[in-house]
Amino acid sequence: MAERTDDSKMTATPLTRVLGILGIAAVVFMVVLGLFISPPDVVQGEAVRMLYLHVPSIWIAYGSFVLTSVSSLLFLVRSRRREDGGRHYDRVAGSAAEVGVVFTGLTLITGMLWGKVTWGTYWQWDARLTTTVLLFVTYLGYLALRRLPADPIVRGRRAAVMALISFVNVPIVHYSVDWWRTLHQKASLSVGRRPEITGEMYWTLLYSALTVTIVGAWLIIHRYRVIRLEELRDEENLKMLISSRRHERSADSAADGEVS
Amino acid sequence: MSEVATVATGWGLTFVVIVTYSLWVVSRGRSIGRELGIGEAQPSGLEQESDLSPDT
């Protein structure tokens, strides 16, 4: 059994409990706002309600991948200097990437459903959809790389490099609708451009983004904690294995001594 | 599929995915925490039991 050390304090939970309760309350209000209070669109009708899931999902995915990249960069810079190899940054990168992948998957699912109603097809190999699915697959590859057996620091460095390479696709996904002719509409909200939507729809979209951010933050914090626990367990298992090997070797030496 | 059915499917699937993933993360934390004995540790001093629990 592990002794309670300073490491165990990382499992402190009051913040995540408050965040969790806040998240549940926010989701309930988001359902009421998104499904009942906000009006149907003049052109798209009820289908516009997919906007409140689809757009915030990709925003939180972008945010998660930004966090993954920044943490990966910090890990690469600091892993040589710090005693613990800067593994904190590696954990942040891993947890954020996993949450980003979940939300990218949700973006694809909600987008396909929305596309069926508005475009008449679930899928079209246009620039936005293709680059998004590529984003999903490259970060899945990143998560797979993190699971390969290797020294944690070496594995962390390999993963960090892959995270930085994968991030190149994020701006390509975002600006694909501006750079190429696509079936996908242009961004609903964009810095320096007048919003495409207004009124209750606009506020519902912003509120949904806030809600999804709270849920995403809760998930990243928890996933970080679980990665830390996995590392502690692996360290414990390694210590036990080494101690059992030493015990076996000393028993063998004693037996050899008796024979000679 | 009608607009209402699409919206219901989209929102329903989203909640199923997020709830399933959240439960997986929490249960994995609990199970490893239990394995390490972190959740069973007795609090001392000013620390609260909740500070050590691998629960949410």
Tens of pLDDT, residue by residue over A194-236, are 667 778 899 999 999 999 999 999 999 999 999 999 988 988 8
Phi/psi at A31 (5° precision): -65, -45
Instruction: Tell if the CB–CB gap between A9 and B37 is shorter than 8 Å.
Output: no
Q: Is residue A15 part of a domain?
A: no
Q: What is the mean pLDDT of residues A81-110?
A: 91
Encoding tokens for residue A161? 């490099």
Q: Within a 10 A sphere around the Cβ of A59, how many other Cβ atoms?
A: 19
pLDDT at A94: 96
Q: How confident is the model at residue A189 (pLDDT cuts 50, 70, 90)?
A: low
- Closest Cα in chain B, distance from residue A11 (Å): 6
Q: Is residue A77 part of a domain?
A: yes
Domain boundaries, chain B: 8-32
pLDDT at A255 over 90: no
pLDDT tens digits, A139-164: 999 999 999 988 888 999 999 999 99
Angstrom distance (rounded) from CA A243 to CA A237: 10
Q: Is residue A81 part of a domain?
A: yes
* Segment 32-51 of chain B within 8 Å of chain A by CB: 32-33, 35-38, 41, 47, 50-51
pLDDT tens digits, A2-31: 444 444 444 447 888 899 999 999 999 999
Q: Which domain holds residue A236?
A: 26-186+197-259
Q: Is residue A233 part of a domain?
A: yes
Instruction: Tell if the CB–CB gap between B41 and A4 is shorter than 8 Å.
Output: yes
Interface pTM, i.e. ipTM: 0.85
pLDDT at A72: 96
Q: What's the domain count of chain A?
A: 1
Residues pairing with A190 in the sheet: A193
Single-letter amino acid, residue A91? R
> What's this model's pTM, rounded to 2 decimal places?
0.85
Closest of A197, A213, A209, A204 to residue A35, by C-alpha? A204
Q: How confident is the model at residue A55 (pLDDT cuts 50, 70, 90)?
A: very high
User: For the CA atoms of A180, A169, A113, A47, what is the dihedral angle to 10 degrees?
Assistant: -70
pLDDT at A237: 86
Q: How confident is the model at residue A87 (pLDDT cuts 50, 70, 90)?
A: confident
pLDDT tens digits, A231-251: 889 888 888 888 888 888 888
Tell me, yes or no, if A143 comes closer than 8 A to chain B by beta carbon: no
Instruction: Tell if the CB–CB gap between A47 and B6 is shorter than 8 Å.
Output: yes
pLDDT at B49: 36
Residues pairing with A41 in the sheet: A45
Angstrom distance (rounded) from CA A88 to CA A77: 13
pLDDT at B45: 34
* Segment 46-75 of chain A within 8 Å of chain B by CB: 46-47, 49-50, 53-54, 57
- Among the partner-chain residues B10, B35, B36, the one whose CB lies closest to the CB of A114 is B10
Instruction: Tell if the CB–CB gap between B36 and A45 is shorter than 8 Å.
Output: no
- Among the partner-chain residues B4, B25, B54, the one whose CB lies closest to the CB of A223 is B25
- Closest Cα in chain A, distance from residue B38 (Å): 7
